[in-house]
A and B are shown apart, each in its own frame.
Chain A
Amino acid sequence: MVLCDLDKDLASTRAAQFGIPEVETDYQRLLSRIDIDVIDIVTRGKDRGENHQELTFATLEAGKHVLCEKPVCHDYRDIRRAHEVAESKTLKTKVGLTFRYAPAVMYMQALIADGFIGEPYIFNGFEQNYQWINPETPMDKRPHKERSEGTEIKGYDPAPEAIQVLSLEGYGAPIIDIGMMSVRSDLDRVVGTLKNMLPHRRRTNLDTERERINVDDADIFIGECANGALLSIQSSYVTVGNYPGIEARIFGSEGALSCRLVEEFGECETLHGAKPDAVEFVPMPIPPEFFPPGVHPGEPWPSLFYGNLVHNFMKELVDGSEENQGNFGQSAKVQEVINAVALSHRQRRWVDLPLEAMD
């Protein structure tokens, strides 16, 4: 393993922390090494994830398997292109759709595949947190020492239809992913609304005045699935509740499952189930095989869920089979739904999927 960061001190500190032999500051040097199989892109650009796209394509061109944090690209068509490049080079890909790898979610999916819920009727998904509930919190929470140059300014147009997509992409993506996976169907059409509940904030800690920043800090949409199921998704970062704030409920002809990934009283995940002849929801203990190697009781969710994600990716690579869950193909579908919901909001109408059909 080798670590790379523009900030050499940061990279060196991490390397020392985790006992990693090598450190780089230029990602190109990693990509050109023939002894590297997999690249994990977890950069943070000036703006949210602005360089994921560039790094992803460069990595695929260099012939490496890729794990990339979301969003891979802001336009679903670019992710699909990346997916096609990967396939043409028989490379596997994975996106940081963290929450599908929670042991409770993985077990939920195994139960659904086993027929626990029968035919899916309704899925309700939430990803909510309260990171920006305080209007004093600047839009960019990082402490800046000086003003950065060249950052694209967003959210200046106060018109409701001009709102910038933020929560839907930043927080909605993992639960949209879980929603489509749970109903086992693509979406046919969506309708939704993006809201800006807290209209005035400082842009950074260097600003003294709040200004109007028109960004989506809360949103809800409804989807109709190709298999007849209904779906609703809500995301927000101004809603009180603990991290990671995921909830996935599915109701079907034979049963219902309710999975909650919210750190409360030392638990970060619960799964409950009910059946038509036993309608009170009861806890469903998660079998040990759904936990990552080396799990310990009370382990925090970031390492627990990510432990499953990367180990799952490694297994998929080592097995050499077709398996590749949560890859760029799936991420492109999730991003297409995000793009469709944004369009639905701007044009205040139902939007059909796939989006190409309307081009």
Chain B
Amino acid sequence: MTDKLRVGVIGTGRWAGMAHIPGWKRSPLVDLVVVCDIDREKAQARAKEFDVPDVETDYQKVFSRSDIDVVDIVTSGDNHEPLTFAALEAGKHVLVEKPVCHDYKDVWRAHALATSKKLKTKVGLTFRYAPAMQYMYDLIQDGFVGQPYIFNGWEQNSQWIDPAGPSRFARVDTGNAPIKVGSLEGYGAPTIDISLWVVQSRLTSVVGVLKNFVPKRLNPDGSWVRTNVDDGDIYIGEYANGAICSMQSSYVTVGNYPGIEARVYGSKGALICRLVEEFGECQVLKSATPDAVEFVPVDVPASYFPVGYKKGESWRSLFYANLVHNFAKEICDGGEANQGNFAQSARVQEIINAVERSHRERRWVDLPLTPGVGD
């Protein structure tokens, strides 16, 4: 491995500009050498903004460069899957925004491909990289909660609470077609990830319900269309180790971003991590123990913050800086460590697929969904 990892970013939209690119620029282990977008002007503007030497409009040109070690896929279309496989085939380590693929079995295929080529992977499971969440995980590893009993997770925002709210794109009329998975995949994934990670066990069964609270929405052309998409959902899960969980996601629930909450109650203590921007704070960690049952704030040690952290920094850049730096470290260290990789993303996607099935068939669904596929 060379001194610094050389990185190319595919997609230069809002999230790339807010989270990914600033994160790469901050990691002392990385040289960001190229940004790529089908919209050349957008790519050029980002390159100028962040002082990136090269601009491309064709992702194949980035993948075929032998001086690129890592590819970061942050495109907005539904093309993560083909780009991911192409990047792996080209021998690049891959960071990709979720969902990698809509079918968890395809995510496992991508994981197998990466493993066979000794490539590391990472998925934009942003919120496990919040300093408070990483610290919560370490506290649990250290035995703070003892045996875990209950996990409660939320990811909520009010992005689309207004049916007449402005939309950047025209929505397709769903008519009376069965409800489509929306919030569960788009917003549920990071907290599902946290639910598996901190409880340290796989789920054996789930039962859940997807709801459509806002049935019609206004399109940019002024027409109202039926949008039968899951904008709120809840499920219950049972873990192999005996714990239980509840998970809720929604984009029509009032509250600030990122709207994550993770609670773990165990035999020796409880931890609550809240990632909600309120009054200048974007993360709060609280704890209680059987001898001191009133929840008190827990200070997150400085080592959990990325290089260049300043108090009051937006969660968008703060959490992602941890994510990309962690990935760069995992690649440079060359060890086995690779948290939040495609395998973990496949487990998360399997639960999303299982909850969808549970909703459609109105029953408990057992995991694994396909014997032999998975861990």
Contact = CB atoms under 8 A, between A and B. Distances in A.
Contact of A230 (B211, B214, B266): B211
Given A121-B213, A122-B250, A279 B256 contact: yes
A275 B254 contact: yes
Interface in B44-70: none
B161 A241 contact: no
A232 B265 contact: no
B293 A256 contact: no
B295 A350 contact: no
B207 A130 contact: no
Interface in A273-313: 274-276, 279-281
A242 B256 contact: no
Contact of A279 (B158, B208, B242, B364): B158
Contact of A122 (B162, B253, B364): B253
B236 interface: yes
A255 interface: yes
Contacts of A122: 232, 234, 248, 250, 253
Q: Of A121, A134, A198, A350, which is in contact with the most chain B CB atoms at under 10 Å from its CB?
A: A121
A127 to B, nearest CB: 13
Contacts of A349: 363-364
Interface in A200-241: 218, 220-222, 224, 228, 230, 232, 234, 236, 238-241
B152 interface: yes
Contacts of A221: 236
Given A232-B248, A240-B269, A281 B255 contact: yes
Interface string B145-158: 00001101000101
Given A234-B150, A234-B152, A240-B265, A192 B295 contact: no
A134 B291 CA distance: 11
Interface residues of B, number: 46
> Which DSSP category, helix, strand, loop or mixed, fits chain B's interface?
strand
B363 A241 contact: no
A265 interface: yes
A330 interface: no
A124 B254 CA distance: 14
Contacts of A255: 254
A220 B263 CA distance: 14
Given A238-B149, A251-B156, A232 B290 contact: no
B191 to A, nearest CB: 14
Contacts of A263: 294
B236 A242 contact: no
Interface residues of A, number: 46
Contacts of B250: 121-122, 251
A252 B252 CA distance: 8
Contact of B277 (A238, A241, A280): A280
B12 to A, nearest CB: 28
A241 B288 contact: yes
Interface string A112-125: 00000001011010
Contacts of A274: 254-256
Nearest to A196: B242
A353 B156 CA distance: 29
B265 A276 contact: no
A231 to B, nearest CB: 8
A274 B278 CA distance: 11
A193 interface: yes
Given A279-B255, A350-B362, A124 B248 contact: yes
Interface string A325-356: 00000000000000000000000111000000
Interface in B275-327: 277-279, 288-290, 293-295
A240 B246 contact: no
Contact of A220 (B156, B244, B277, B289): B244
B161 A236 contact: no
A230 B232 contact: yes
Q: Of A236, A239, A251, which is in contact with the most chain B CB atoms at under 10 Å from its CB?
A: A251
A220 B149 contact: no
B238 interface: yes
B217 to A, nearest CB: 13
B279 A242 contact: no
B209 interface: yes
A236 B149 contact: yes
A248 interface: no
Q: Of A193, A232, A240, A251, which is in contact with the most chain B CB atoms at under 10 Å from its CB?
A: A240
Interface in B220-271: 232, 234-236, 238, 242, 244-246, 248, 250, 252-256, 265-267, 269-270
Interface in A152-209: 191-193, 195, 197-198
Contacts of A124: 248
Interface string B105-116: 000000000000
Contact of B254 (A195, A232, A256): A256
Interface in B79-134: none
B267 A195 contact: no
A253 interface: yes
B255 A232 contact: no
A279 B254 contact: yes
Interface string B135-152: 000000000000001101
Nearest to A266: B294
Given A230-B234, A279-B255, A239 B265 contact: yes
B316 to A, nearest CB: 16
Interface in B181-231: 207-209, 211, 213-214
A128 interface: yes
Nearest to B289: A240
Contact of A232 (B161, B234, B256, B278): B234
Contact of A128 (B252, B265, B267): B265
A27 B201 CA distance: 54
Given A230-B232, A253-B213, 6 more contacts: A121-B211, A192-B236, A234-B152, A236-B265, A265-B294, A280-B256
10 contacts: A122-B253, A218-B244, A228-B213, A240-B265, A251-B252, A251-B254, A274-B254, A279-B254, A281-B278, A350-B362
Nearest 7 interchain pairs by C-beta: A256-B254, A251-B253, A240-B270, A239-B265, A264-B294, A279-B256, A280-B278
